[in-house]
Amino acid sequence: DAGVIQSPRHEVTEMGQEVTLRCKPISGHNSLFWYRQTMMRGLELLIYFNNNVPIDDSGMPEDRFSAKMPNASFSTLKIQPSEPRDSAVYFCASSSQTREKLFFGSGTQLSVL
Amino acid sequence: SQQGEEDPQALSIQEGENATMNCSYKTSINNLQWYRQNSGRGLVHLILIRSNEREKHSGRLRVTLDTSKKSSSLLITASRAADTASYFCATYDTGTASKLTFGTGTRLQVTL
């Protein structure tokens, strides 16, 4: 089992550019979560999907953020336009059952200059 | 916002000693989980305790849950340098279907 795969591992971009983060969940998992981690705010849940359907996106900071899950094996988190305050580590996680443990990817370290 | 608050924020012990971390939360929960995060890495699930359980063991880990006090503790016995990491509690509350909310974390340093 390859685990949750995120790409890229690191992303450095300039303010105003579009950023796309990618996630491949563990095969067979039906729930997918996007978290953001910063020193100031800790781990924040941005959005989660169940069976490819967005269930709760109340954690998405603003309209500049969007997430999609076109199929069970792929999800994207897009920031357009990016701002320096978006700099953080973004984690994707998946789960096979409701309210059970999450499996995390290695994260994407995003730096917006 | 953070559901759980870990205490202490940082803990430094010597190898072989026991480490105890505490977590307090605010709402009624379905279950509480503990995760470990090594520097620069993703989180790894350690143990899950359900709201009707009071204590659970896994190897050198012992977790307790007191729902009346809305608190949990994680005990790592006979710590090793490899246990150096940040530890987070996380809760699924009874109100939201699948929203796992993390605490602020405890940074554990185990020295030789």
- From the list B1, B42, B5, the residue with the least C-alpha distance to B22 is B5
CA of A98, closest CA in chain B: separation in Å? 6
Give dist(CA B20, CA B87) in Å, integer.
11
Helices (H), chain B: none
Tell me, what's the pLDDT at B92?
86
Sign of the dihedral defined by the CA atoms of residues A37, A40, A44, A46, in that order: negative
Is-contact A109 A10, C-beta < 8 A?
yes
Q: A62 or B56, which is more confident? A: B56
Is-contact B9 B107, C-beta < 8 A?
yes
- The residue of B41, B100, B102 whose CB has the most chain A CBs within 10 angstroms, and thus the best one to mutate to test that interface, is B100
Contacts of A95 in chain B (CB under 8 A): 98
CA of B101, closest CA in chain A: separation in Å? 7
**Those residues with Cβ within 8 angstroms of residue A61's Cβ, 6 or more apart along the chain or in another chain:** A46
Contacts of A2 in chain B (CB under 8 A): none
B residues 19-58 closer than 8 Å to A (CB): 30-31, 33, 41-45, 48
Q: A84 or A61, which is more confident? A: A84
Q: How many helices (H) and strands (E) does chain B have?
A: 0, 11
Could you count the other beta carbons within 10 Å of the beta carbon of residue A25? 26
Task: Please indicate whether, in this complex, the C-beta atoms of B44 and A104 are within 8 angstroms of each other.
Answer: yes
Tell me, what's the pLDDT at B106?
95
Give dist(CA A37, CA A101) in Å, integer.
18
Contacts of A107 in chain B (CB under 8 A): 41-42
Whether the pLDDT of residue B2 is over 70: the answer is no
Give dist(CA A27, CA A12) in Å, integer.
29
CA nearest to B46 within chain A: A101
Tell me, what's the pLDDT at A98?
76
Task: Please indicate whether, in this complex, the C-beta atoms of B42 and A4 are within 8 angstroms of each other.
Answer: yes
CA angle B48, B54, B60 (to 5 degrees): 55
Tell me, what's the pLDDT at B27?
87
Where does the pLDDT of residue A100 fall: very low under 50, low under 70, confident under 90, or very high at 90 and above? Answer: confident
Tell me, what's the pLDDT at B39?
92
End-to-end C-alpha distance for chain A, whole angstroms: 36
B residues 2-21 closer than 8 Å to A (CB): 2
CA-based R_g, chain A, Å: 13
Task: Give the CB-side neighbour count of residue A51, counting CA atoms within 13 A.
Answer: 1
Tell me, what's the pLDDT at A1?
64
Give dist(CA A15, CA B100) in Å, integer.
31
- Give B74-100 pLDDT, tens digit per residue: 999 999 999 999 999 999 877 766 688
Give dist(CA B62, CA A29) in Å, integer.
28
Give dist(CA A85, CA B43) in Å, integer.
23
Tell me, what's the pLDDT at B1?
36
Is-contact B24 B7, C-beta < 8 A?
yes
